[in-house]
Each structure stands twice: as structure tokens, then as C-alpha cells.
Amino acid sequence: MGLLSTIAGPADLRRLSPQQLLDLAEEIRAYLVDSVSRTGGHLGPNLGVVELTMAIHRVFDSPRDAVVFDTGHQSYVHKLLTGRHDFATLRKEGGISGYPSRAESRHDVVENSHASTSLSWAIGIATGRKLRGETDRHTVAVIGDGALTGGMAWEALNNIAANPDLPLVIVVNDNERSYAPTIGGMADYLASLRATRNYENVLSWGKRVLHKTPIVGARMYDTLHGVKKGIKDIVSPQGMFEDLGLKYLGPIDGHDLPAVENALQLAHDFGGVVLVHVITEKGHGYTPAVADEADRFHAVGVINPETGLPLELSGRSWTDEFSDELLELADQRDDIVALTASMLIPVGLANFARKHPGRVFDVGIAEQHAVTMAAGLSFAGMHPVVAIYATFLNRAFDQLLMDCALHKQGVTFVLDRAGVTGTDGASHNGMWDMALLSIVPGLHLAAPRDGAQIRAALREAVDINDAPSVIRFPKGTVAEPIQAVGAHGSVDILREAESPDLLIVSIGSMADIAGEVAEKLGAQGISAKVVDPRWVLPISEDLLELTSTVAAVAVIEDNLVDSGIGAALGARLRAGGTRTPVWTYGIPKQFLDHGSRSQVLERIGLTPDTIATSLIDCLRD
């Protein structure tokens, strides 16, 4: 690193010459491509915000001024400019997080990587500081155009418009994409702004004046037309934003550093709420990551930096199994439709969308809307399949409960990335879904142990028309098929034992670990039967019958252990007057720092050795 090695914090940016700033931008891009290609991570979004992030840190005084990123996956450049240069540890255990992290830096404000939250954070911070008399501190919210499809962002905009005097700058990073191209009315509106020459003329005028004038702010406007007139001419409300009462500046070429910096300086000096519309290109400066390939480079694994091709060949994924089976079902049944929240490709709906484009609905980053729309589709005679990440179901729990379950609508939820996902950190682990769903009356939940079980569960789920059904599975390469050696009603028996001392209930992808635990117990003279309930909620009578044949039960799950499947099984047994002990092994009630999945499981004790040792102690007490 050349210039970058001299940047320990934002103040160091302000001493650089215009040419040095351009050189630094290119150096940052080269560094991101080189480092992220070695570790994996969110490459495309960060290549697109290099100049924008540099401009923000030259105009605003972080951390005195708060900079909130929505979502945090576009914060790599921010990390570099605030002194974090060791990206060799990016997303690795003990290393730099892939999202903002308060533990890493006082420049990081919001760690949550769930979208559409920044504007609510921003008005909260700005209002709180105003109440404390700190009116000279700015708050900057950097929100992608994709995140503006989320309802929470519009709730915040409505509130912000009623408080126009707050020192709050909203930067809309418009690259026409979230994960994939942004669609919907908001996307169309931003496109119309990009196409309007009037905005370009205003920007051109502003750039000519500002480039000639080293002083930006009140003195410049005194010299030209007077403070009020100058601000009014440059920062003027437009279109929909005018209807909301928001001042609008743009659109600005997000890769023209002087233009972005000048626009942000105008917004800074205005003294109230200003929305700055910045046009960027996802993957900018890295040929493999732009144009038709932009979606593939949103997040990458280890790649060849020259070609952008993966160096690590991945096998068939859990998502692939769901994707193929859903397409087969859709070919057979024209009542099946699919919905997702701006995640068409990662949740496996791309092939379905290509073959049946009128039956797939990408509603944008709006999980709440997706779930209630699905309830409406169900009422109208369709069978909707809502495919989202498990962690994002948290956002739509009320809609699942009150719109789907209360109304007994047949909606199938497919939760990708369930359990420990690892490298994306605390906000992306899908560890709350089973705990939340266990309290929903009438809901059916399946946790497949392998690809064949995903296919079987999906076929069964779309035949449930009087209640919501849920299928959850983890991230990554799908497990090798695990054949049942028998069955007890609806429960698969994975490992048989005569006169077993213990019944091990394996939930979903924990089947391999459960089998290894049984082997280790067997080596110690403890006989264990391993079963897979397949449909884990509601607790089946078949599973309850099996518990009556043993002295103790152990449940192994990759879900919050409090209120998980083990807790539900224990409650059912106690309610029936059974005192058989149920020992539960799952994820503790804490936020889990990033690391590989195996490292996280080791850290929380979800390994065969740890579980077997614990069970031996329990059985001997």
C-alpha cells in the first residue's frame, strides 16, 4: 500500500491533493480486489462506493459526525479510511467483520446488516443530539436504492420530513441494484430522475462555480447571490421528495469525486435535512464485476482476481435442492407461486422466474409486505412459497402470525441460511426462527437433514392449505444423503439400538453430529438410538411414543436452545406427566461473532466431543 498506508483516519484525507485523491481511489480499488479475492466478501458494493466514501469522510467529521451505512456490506472503504488495513483477516475468526463493528472502531455506528434501518437510526441520533444541545454535529445516512424499497425506510422518511431543521444528510447510493436489479415504483422514479436533464444542468452549474472557489459554504454564497438564494437555487425539492417536504440535490455522478464532495458540502452547510442522490456503478473499476456480471460479484468466495472466476469449486448446495424441486412442482401445479424480498438469485428462484416469470414476485427489501401479500395470494386460491433467509423472517414475524396463521392461510416459508452461517456474523445467523415459530398456533415446521429430505418436505408442505408451513436448511454444500434404517410412524430412525439408554433427537442438518455423538457414547458402553422427526413442529405423537422407551432424551439443534425444539419437547412431556429428562444442545442466547461455521460451532460447544462428554456426565449423575 502506498497512499493508503498513510491514512490512519479521515483527517488524513483532507491533506491530500486532488491528484493524490484520484490515485488513492484507484489504490483502494486495487486493494479491495486483491484482498477480497483471497478471503471472500462483498466486493461489488464496495467497489462502487470508493469516491462516495472518500467524499463523506472529507466533508464530515467522523466520529463526531455519525455516519450510518445501510446496509453495512458497503462499509469496506469506510473501514480502510478509518485505519483498518489488515483485510487478510476479513470475516475470519478474530479478524475484521464484514459489517460495521463498534468493537472495531468508534467510527462504526450501526452493526445490524438488515436493510432499510439507517434512516430511523439517523433521525434518532440527530434528534437525540438536538435535545442535548449538540446542533453542530451532523448525521449522515448512506442508504442504497434497494433499501429504499423497504417500508421502514418510508416510515422514517415520513417522520424526517416533519423535522426539516435537523442537521441530517441522506445519501441515496443509487446503483440500480440491491443484490440484483432494483425493481418497483421507487426504482422507476429514481430512473426518471437520472434521465432528467434539469438535474444535470444544476449539477454542472454547481460544479463550475465550486471548482473555481476554494471556499465552500456561507462566504461563497455571500459572494454569489446571498446565502438564502444560493442555497435555494442549488438545493431544491423535486418531485416525490418535494411532496414529502425534503430538499433534494442531484443526481450526482458518484465516481466524480469533486462533484460528490461539493454536493455533500452544500448539504452540510444547508443546516437542515437534505437528500443527496448519488449515481454509482456496482463493481466500478473492475471489469469482471460490472454490467451483466454485477450480481455475481455482490458477494464472492475466493476468486482469481484477474478473471473473477472462483478458485474453490463448491458442490451442490442446499439451495440447489430446493430450487430444482420447486421448479418441478411449478411445472406440475399452476397454483404454485413464489415470493422473495430482493433475493431472487441467492434463494434459488432464478430458474423458476425464467420459466414462469408471471408467477414469481420480487417485492424488494420488504419482508413484511411479502408475507402478507402471500396471505392474500393464498386466499385467492394460490399456494405461495416465500423464500427468504432465516434471519430475515424475524422482520416479518407479526405478519406470519397475524396474517397467515390467524387466518389459516396455506403459505409455505422456505428459510435459507438457517442455523449458524458463520462469516457474516451476528446479524446473519439464522438462529431465532424455530424459537419464534414454536409459539405460532397451527404452524408446521420441517428441518430436512439432506437434499432428498428437502425435496420430500417441500412436496408435503405445498399440500398444507389450512396453515403456514416452514422448511429450514443451512448455508453451503448439501449434506451427503443419510438413509434411515427404519421408521416409527412419521419419525425416521437413523441409528437403531436394542434397549437404548438414550434417545438422541437430531434436528435437520445436525444429523451427522448426532450420529458421531452416538458412536462416541457407544465406545463408552452407552447405547443410543438416533431419530429424525423430519417435521419438528408441532411435536408429533410418534416422537412422544419413542421417548417413553428410554430413560433420557437428548435434542441436538442449530437454533436458539432456549425455546427451541428441545424445550418444546420437554414441555410436552411435562404436560403429559412424564418426568423423562430432556437435555438440549443448541445455540446459546447470545450474539455470535463471525468465524467459519465449524469455528462457531466449536466455540458454542455444538461438536460431537463436547456433546458426548456432557451426556456421559448427565447419564452418570
Q: Domain containing 586 — which CATH number? A: 3.40.50.920
Q: Is residue 3 part of a domain?
A: no
pLDDT at 302 over 80: no
Q: Among the options 84, 177, 247, 395, which is catalytic?
A: 395
DSSP H helices, 40-110, are 44-47, 50-59, 76-81
Binding residues for Mg(2+): 145, 175
597 is catalytic: no
Mean pLDDT of 46-75: 93
Final residue of a structural domain among 472, 499, 516: 472
Whether residue 550 sits in one domain with residue 461: no
Q: Would you place residue 595 in the very low, low, confident or very high pLDDT band (cuts 50, 70, 90)?
A: confident
> Collapsing DSSP states into helix, strand and coil, what is residue 374?
helix
Handedness of CA 567, 569, 572, 573 (dihedral sign): negative
**pTM of the entire predicted model:** 0.83
Q: Would you place residue 212 in the very low, low, confident or very high pLDDT band (cuts 50, 70, 90)?
A: very low
Q: Would you place residue 197 in the very low, low, confident or very high pLDDT band (cuts 50, 70, 90)?
A: very low
Phi-psi domain of 534 (left: phi exceeds 0; alpha: psi -120 through 50; beta: other): left
Angle, to 10 degrees, between the axis of helix 257-270 and the axis of helix 197-212?
A: 90
Whether residue 228 sits in one domain with residue 162: yes
DSSP element (H, E) containing 602 = helix 597-604
395 is catalytic: yes
Of 195-199, 228-232, 426-430, which gets the smallest average pLDDT? 228-232
Strands ordered across the beta sheet of 66-70:
66-70, 139-144, 168-174, 274-279, 247-253
pLDDT at 223 over 70: no
Distance CA 418, CA 471 (A): 10
Handedness of CA 159, 162, 163, 164 (dihedral sign): positive
pLDDT of 511 reads: 96
pLDDT at 202 over 60: no
Q: Is residue 194 part of a domain?
A: yes
Q: Choose the most confident range, by mean pLDDT, from 113-117, 205-209, 228-232, 489-493.
A: 489-493
Distance CA 493, CA 528 (A): 11
Q: Choose the most confident range, by mean pLDDT, from 97-111, 530-544, 581-595.
A: 530-544
pLDDT at 518 over 60: yes
Give the cell for residue 534. Answer: 423430519
Q: Is residue 89 part of a domain?
A: no
Q: Is residue 90 part of a domain?
A: no
Percent of the chain topping pLDDT 90: 66
Whether residue 422 sits in one domain with residue 347: yes
Distance CA 288, CA 177 (A): 17
Of 33-37, 325-329, 501-505, which gets the smallest average pLDDT? 33-37
Mean pLDDT of 15-22: 95
Mean pLDDT of 245-253: 87
Whether residue 355 sits in one domain with residue 209: no
Binding residues: 73, 113-115, 145-147, 175, 286, 367
259-289 tens-digit pLDDT: 999 999 999 999 899 999 999 988 887 777 7
129 is catalytic: no
Q: Among the options 27, 51, 321, 367, which is catalytic?
A: 367
Q: Would you place residue 184 in the very low, low, confident or very high pLDDT band (cuts 50, 70, 90)?
A: low
Q: Is residue 42 part of a domain?
A: no
Q: Is residue 427 part of a domain?
A: yes
332-376 tens-digit pLDDT: 999 999 999 988 999 999 999 999 999 999 998 899 999 999 999
Overall domain count for the chain? 3
Q: Would you place residue 179 in the very low, low, confident or very high pLDDT band (cuts 50, 70, 90)?
A: low
Mean pLDDT of 18-38: 92
Whether residue 594 sits in one domain with residue 540: yes
Whether residue 179 sits in one domain with residue 277: yes
Whether residue 461 sits in one domain with residue 492: no
CATH code of the domain in which 382 resides: 3.40.50.970
Other Cβ atoms within 10 Å of 195 Cβ, number: 10
Percent of the chain topping pLDDT 70: 86
pLDDT at 576 over 60: yes
- Mean pLDDT over each residue of the chain, to the nearest integer: 87
Whether residue 576 sits in one domain with residue 526: yes
Whether residue 200 sits in one domain with residue 175: yes
Whether residue 493 sits in one domain with residue 421: no
More confident residue, 570 or 227: 570
Whether residue 189 sits in one domain with residue 276: yes
Domain around 509: 486-620
Residue 359, C-beta contacts closer than 8 angstroms, at least 6 positions apart: 330, 334, 336, 337, 338, 352
Final residue of a structural domain among 243, 272, 288: 288
Mean pLDDT of 434-457: 97
pLDDT at 294 over 70: no
Binding residues for thiamine diphosphate: 73, 113-115, 146-147, 175, 286, 367
Mean pLDDT of 172-201: 61
Q: Would you place residue 236 in the very low, low, confident or very high pLDDT band (cuts 50, 70, 90)?
A: very low
Q: Among the options 79, 129, 282, 495, which is catalytic?
A: 282
Find out whether 332 and 378 touch, Cβ atoms under 8 Å.
Answer: no
Whether residue 568 sits in one domain with residue 454: no
pLDDT of 226 reads: 37
pLDDT of 192 reads: 63
Q: What are phi and psi of 254, to 5 degrees?
A: -70, -5
Distance CA 257, CA 452 (A): 52
Measured CA to CA in angstroms, residue 314 lies from 210, 320, 477, 597 at distances of: 51, 12, 7, 16
Any idea what DSSP says for residue 446?
A: E
Q: Is residue 593 part of a domain?
A: yes
